[in-house]
Amino acid sequence: MRRRVKFYGSILLFVVLQLFISTQCAFAHVAVIRVEPADGALLAVPPTTMTLWFDETMVDRFSSVQLVDRQNQPVSGVTMQVDSDTHDRMRVTLPTLSPGSYTLFWKALSDDDGHLSQGFTTFAVGSEAPTDPAKATSVGVEKTTATEGLLRWLNYLLLMTVLGALAMLGWVLPTAQGTPAAAAAQQRLRRHMLWVGAGSAGAAFLLGFALLAWQLQTAQAASAVDSALFAQGWELLGRTQWGILWLVRQLLYLFVAAGLWRLATRPKESVSLWLWLFVYGRAVDLAVVQALTGHAGSSHQDWLLTLAATAVHLLAAGVWIGGLLTLCLLFGTVRNEGHHARLGWRPIDWRAFTLAAVVSVGLLLASGLYRTGQLVISADALLTTRYGQLLLGKVLLVCVVGLCGLANALVVHPRLAVWLGRHLGFRLIDRLERVVGERALRATRLPRLMVFEATGGLLILGAVALLTASVPPRTVEYTIAPADIKPVLGQRVDDLIVTLQAKPNRIGRNLFSVRGVSTQRVAAPIARVALNFAYLGETRELQEPLAGIAEEVEPGIFQLAGNYLTQAGPWQIDVTIQRHGKADSTAHFFWVAPPAGKIAP
């Protein structure tokens, strides 16, 4: 008993330490944080260049742009160049443009994780309004393909099976048996479970080449340079973080498959503890690598906690869903060895499995809620976007599968069912017997609802595959309430009533009008009005403060025209009024610049 506790305790401690050590780096997907001219801008003079700032570095070979007019016809003569020093800025040179509305579609491959991001920005020259973003989306944004979804689903399925097999080997398969025949049957079951894990790791290794081919095809679609397939593949693996992570993933699966193969071909007594620790450590590394290739690398201050939470989420899902899949796969082995049941064979420690499932579900809920708060920026984004609706569907599936798991737990532990039924006021175990159809769980039978539970787990993995292929709704338009957008604001400062108005009140060029009216009978004349603009959004550290001096157009009315609202979202506009013989008066306005297009409700 002490040896078993020492063995499992060493594995658990090593897994925790490995998780902490492996989560010391994180990367983020590339996203546009600023565009000049601003998205949705109405320009009087045709621009000659456009500049896009990204929050991560990108690979210039696999990045491209396309400019189309209002009729969705491509505009020739457009060139693109990525900044050679920082690699986070894209400069687009434009030809001479005639008056009209234009949309610039961009594609950029992240240098950190190889994620291909794409989007668009609109602007108009002259008096014509910019292109409706909904129309632009229908032309330029690609949807998740069935091939991509299938590859991601298989990737998660095989990872869960590997993690589940290791979890069942470590904590669910009891070693002590009543008779030598039962011990031999348990040894065969253990060997079969090792082969399931090794086969899943080998299949995941082969799947990696399909993922590489799909990623190369995706990168080629965004490539601005025609070159040989081998050269592009070499650059994808050697110059992008995704390529490095792919190589690490392949090596880890090789190590895990080889380790499980060695464990399966040798008696348990002759296997060193270090080999077990090596295999479990590489499994934790696989969860961390998978977290890095998903949405865990968001650019915020608590990135380490985010990466750890995502890795824990994957590990917990592996214990629960992967464990279910492994047990279902081995059901035939348990049934074939059923003649040993009367000899004292106990193939599965249901108490340990229930405890592992409960702990895993708790970790899944905690880490899932934490990640949801980061990936979905508001309730509007959760309810109105495809990503949010997929996430709600996943949560619903988890609840249904969790209820099946609860029913299985009550069947496995009749005392728990009796205790719960007593507190609920009816005989719960009788109801479960009618649903499940068996009074007691024999050693060679699994709860019938476990099949439904495992099937629900497969559907959950499908939802996860679609979620990781989609862009989380974290843009500012989902945080802006229409009631907060006001073209005119007023405020009293000292003896002045200051009014600020912006026309047309959108990102890009605006005309700001300031009126200052004194409440005193003898008002001091206004000598100077200065406006200072500071962005308050998440990218405020990347947006330099802007300032301008307003000109007096009428007595007491000052105006300032220019491109001062460069990003959608919250701004602080400070209006400083200087008067002869009085101290400066400053009014602080909280201003909301609406995004281009419609605002989410």
pLDDT band of residue 154 (cuts 50, 70, 90) is very high
Name which of 36-50, 253-267, 418-432 the model is least confident about. Answer: 418-432
What proportion of the chain, given as a percentage, has pLDDT over 70? 76
pLDDT for 153: 92
pLDDT band of residue 437 (cuts 50, 70, 90) is very low
Token duo for residue 506: 């959108």
pLDDT for 319: 92
pLDDT for 576: 94
pLDDT for 109: 77
Torsion of CA 471, 213, 306, 352, to 10 degrees: 120
pLDDT band of residue 224 (cuts 50, 70, 90) is low
pLDDT in tens, 169-204: 888 877 766 677 777 777 888 888 999 999 999 999
pLDDT in tens, 65-103: 889 888 888 888 888 888 877 777 889 999 988 888 888
Mean pLDDT to the nearest integer, 312-333: 87
pLDDT for 444: 43
pTM (two decimals): 0.75
323-328-331 Cα angle (round to 5): 125
Q: What is the mean pLDDT of the chain?
A: 78
Say if residue 435's pLDDT is above 60: no
**CA gap 392, 406 in Å, rounded:** 21
The answer to whether 476 and 568 have CB atoms below 8 angstroms apart is yes
Q: Running DSSP on this structure, what letter comes out for residue 126?
A: T
pLDDT band of residue 14 (cuts 50, 70, 90) is very low
pLDDT for 244: 84
pLDDT for 427: 57
pLDDT in tens, 442-490: 444 455 667 788 888 899 988 888 887 777 777 777 777 778 888 899 9
Please indicate whether residue 391 or residue 61 has the higher confidence score (pLDDT): 391
pLDDT for 86: 75
pLDDT band of residue 432 (cuts 50, 70, 90) is low
Q: Do domains 32-140 and 483-593 have the same CATH topology?
A: yes
Hey, how many other C-beta atoms are within 10 angstroms of the C-beta on 154?
17
> What H or E segment, with its residue span, contains residue 254?
helix 241-265
pLDDT band of residue 142 (cuts 50, 70, 90) is very low
pLDDT for 306: 82
pLDDT band of residue 301 (cuts 50, 70, 90) is low
The answer to whether 241 and 289 have CB atoms below 8 angstroms apart is no
pLDDT for 51: 87
pLDDT band of residue 314 (cuts 50, 70, 90) is very high
**CA gap 595, 601 in Å, rounded:** 13
pLDDT in tens, 268-282: 767 788 888 899 999
pLDDT band of residue 283 (cuts 50, 70, 90) is very high
| 249 HSE (CA, 13 A, CB side) | 28
**CA gap 216, 109 in Å, rounded:** 11
Mean pLDDT to the nearest integer, 133-144: 47
Helices (H), 413-427: 414-424
**CA gap 309, 363 in Å, rounded:** 9
How far is CA 191 from its chain centroid?
37
Q: Running DSSP on this structure, what letter comes out for residue 319?
A: I
Name which of 53-57, 68-72, 223-227 the model is least confident about. Answer: 223-227
Q: Is the dihedral of CA 202, 207, 212, 213 positive or negative?
A: positive
Hey, how many other C-beta atoms are within 10 angstroms of the C-beta on 82?
22
pLDDT for 200: 95
**CA gap 138, 72 in Å, rounded:** 11
pLDDT in tens, 341-395: 555 667 777 778 888 888 998 898 888 888 887 777 777 778 888 888 888 888 8
Domain ranges of the chain: 2-28+144-474, 32-140, 483-593
> What H or E segment, with its residue span, contains residue 43?
strand 41-43
The domain over range 32-140 is classified in CATH as 2.40.110.10: no
SS3 474: coil
pLDDT band of residue 21 (cuts 50, 70, 90) is very low
pLDDT in tens, 511-567: 999 998 888 877 788 889 999 999 987 766 667 788 999 998 888 899 998 888 888
The amino acid at 480: I
Say if residue 9's pLDDT is above 60: no
Residue 40 zone, left/alpha/beta (φ > 0; ψ -120 to 50; rest): left
Token duo for residue 394: 């996943």
The answer to whether 473 and 388 have CB atoms below 8 angstroms apart is yes
**CA gap 442, 439 in Å, rounded:** 9
Assign domain 483-593 to a CATH class. mainly beta
Say if residue 114's pLDDT is above 70: no
pLDDT for 466: 84
pLDDT for 138: 39
SS3 499: strand
pLDDT for 178: 65
